[in-house]
Chains A and B, each alone.
Chain A
Amino acid sequence: MKTRAIKIGLLASVCLVTGVQAEVKIGAIYDLTGGLNIYGIQQNNALKLAVDNINSNGGLLGEQIQVVGYDAQSELSKYTQYVNTAILRDKIDALFAGLTSSSREAIRPIVRKANIPYFYASLYEGGACDKQTFVTGTSASQQLSVLIEWGIRKYGPKIYIMAPDYNFGTISAHWVHEFANQSGGEVVGEDFLALTVTDYAPTIQKIQAAKPDFVVALPVGANQTGFLEQFAAAGLKEKIGVVSTNYGSGNQQVVVSPAAGKELIASQGYFQQVENPANAKFVEMWQAAYGDDTPIVSGAVDTWNAVNLWAQAVSQAGTTDADEVIKALESGMTFDSPTGPVQLSPGSHHLIQTIFVAEGDDNHGFKIVDEFVGIKPTYEDQKCDLIENPDLAKHFTPDQN
Chain B
Amino acid sequence: MEFDYLATVLLSSLASASILLIATIGLAVVFGLMGVINLAHGEFLMIGAYTALTATQAGVPFLLSIPIAVAVTMAIGAVIEILVINRLYGRIFDTMLATWGISIAFYQLAVLIFGTVTPGIGMPQYSIKIGDYNLAGYSLLMIFVAALMGSFVYLLMTRTVYGMKARASIQEPAMARAIGIESSRVNTMTFSLGCGLAGFAGAILLPIVPATPSMGFAFVIKAFLTVVVAGPVTLTGSAIAAIGLGGGASITASFLTSVAGDVFFFLITAVLLWLFPLGITAGWRRKM
Which residues of A are interface residues toward B (Cβ below 8 A)?
33, 35, 37-38, 41, 165, 191-194, 196-199, 201-206, 208-209, 221-223, 225-226, 229-230, 232-236, 250-252, 254-260, 293-294, 364
**CB-CB nearest in chain B for A41:** B116
B94 within 8 A of A: no
A229 near B125: Cβ-Cβ < 8 Å: no
B212 cross-chain contacts in A, Cβ below 8 A: 222-223, 255
A255 to chain B minimum Cβ distance, whole angstroms, is 5
**CB-CB nearest in chain A for B121:** A257
Task: Tell me the interface secondary structure of chain A in the complex.
Answer: helix
B187 within 8 A of A: no
Top 10 nearest A-B pairs (CB, nearest first) are A257-B122, A233-B123, A222-B212, A202-B253, A201-B12, A233-B136, A235-B127, A202-B254, A38-B116, A193-B258
Known interface pairs A198-B219, A222-B212; A233-B118 also in contact (CB < 8 Å): no
> Which of B8, B108, B119, B217 contacts A364 (CB under 8 A)?
B119
A258 cross-chain contacts in B, Cβ below 8 A: 122
B214 cross-chain contacts in A, Cβ below 8 A: 35, 221-223
**CB-CB nearest in chain A for B214:** A35
Give the complex CA separation of A230 and B120 in angstroms.
Answer: 13
Give the complex CA separation of A209 and B13 in angstroms.
Answer: 16
B124 near A192: Cβ-Cβ < 8 Å: no
B275 to chain A minimum Cβ distance, whole angstroms, is 26
B123 cross-chain contacts in A, Cβ below 8 A: 229-230, 232-233, 257, 259-260
Give the complex CA separation of A234 and B207 in angstroms.
Answer: 13
Give the complex CA separation of A194 and B258 in angstroms.
Answer: 7
A201 near B258: Cβ-Cβ < 8 Å: no
A254 cross-chain contacts in B, Cβ below 8 A: 117-119
Known interface pairs A202-B253, A235-B134, A254-B117; A229-B262 also in contact (CB < 8 Å): no
B211 to chain A minimum Cβ distance, whole angstroms, is 8
B32 to chain A minimum Cβ distance, whole angstroms, is 24
A201 near B15: Cβ-Cβ < 8 Å: yes
B210 near A203: Cβ-Cβ < 8 Å: no
A318 to chain B minimum Cβ distance, whole angstroms, is 40
Give the complex CA separation of A37 and B119 in angstroms.
Answer: 17
B183 to chain A minimum Cβ distance, whole angstroms, is 37
- Can you add 15 more A-B contacts, CB < 8 Å, to A202-B254, A223-B212, A226-B209? A191-B258, A205-B5, A205-B133, A222-B215, A229-B122, A229-B123, A232-B122, A251-B116, A254-B118, A255-B117, A255-B118, A255-B120, A255-B210, A259-B125, A294-B117
Flag B225-264 by CB within 8 Å of A: 1 or 0 each: 0000000000000000000000000110110011101100
B195 within 8 A of A: no
B34 within 8 A of A: no
A229 near B208: Cβ-Cβ < 8 Å: yes
B208 cross-chain contacts in A, Cβ below 8 A: 198-199, 226, 229-230
Give the complex CA separation of A221 and B108 in angstroms.
Answer: 17
Flag B177-220 by CB within 8 Å of A: 1 or 0 each: 00000000000000000000000000000011110111101110
**CB-CB nearest in chain B for A226:** B209
Give the complex CA separation of A192 and B221 in angstroms.
Answer: 20
A34 to chain B minimum Cβ distance, whole angstroms, is 8
B210 near A236: Cβ-Cβ < 8 Å: no
A206 near B108: Cβ-Cβ < 8 Å: no
B201 to chain A minimum Cβ distance, whole angstroms, is 12
A165 cross-chain contacts in B, Cβ below 8 A: 258-259
B111 within 8 A of A: yes
Known interface pairs A191-B257, A257-B123; A234-B134 also in contact (CB < 8 Å): yes
B73 within 8 A of A: no
B126 cross-chain contacts in A, Cβ below 8 A: 233
A41 cross-chain contacts in B, Cβ below 8 A: 116
B95 within 8 A of A: no
A196 near B221: Cβ-Cβ < 8 Å: yes
B213 cross-chain contacts in A, Cβ below 8 A: 35
B52 within 8 A of A: no
A226 near B108: Cβ-Cβ < 8 Å: no
A294 cross-chain contacts in B, Cβ below 8 A: 115, 117
Give the complex CA separation of A223 and B138 in angstroms.
Answer: 18
B12 near A208: Cβ-Cβ < 8 Å: no
B111 near A257: Cβ-Cβ < 8 Å: no
B115 near A293: Cβ-Cβ < 8 Å: yes
A257 near B253: Cβ-Cβ < 8 Å: no
Known interface pairs A230-B123, A232-B122; A33-B254 also in contact (CB < 8 Å): no
B121 cross-chain contacts in A, Cβ below 8 A: 257
Give the complex CA separation of A350 and B275 in angstroms.
Answer: 54
Known interface pairs A196-B221, A201-B15; A236-B118 also in contact (CB < 8 Å): no
Give the complex CA separation of A353 and B118 in angstroms.
Answer: 30
Known interface pairs A199-B19, A202-B254, A229-B122; A256-B210 also in contact (CB < 8 Å): yes
Give the complex CA separation of A37 and B9 in angstroms.
Answer: 36
B258 near A223: Cβ-Cβ < 8 Å: no
A230 cross-chain contacts in B, Cβ below 8 A: 123, 136, 139, 208
Known interface pairs A198-B209, A230-B139, A233-B125; A256-B120 also in contact (CB < 8 Å): yes
Task: Name 23 A/B residue pairs within 8 A (Cβ), A-sorted.
Answer: A35-B214, A37-B116, A38-B117, A192-B259, A193-B259, A198-B208, A198-B215, A198-B219, A202-B250, A205-B12, A205-B254, A206-B254, A208-B8, A208-B134, A222-B215, A223-B212, A232-B125, A233-B123, A235-B127, A250-B117, A251-B116, A255-B119, A255-B210
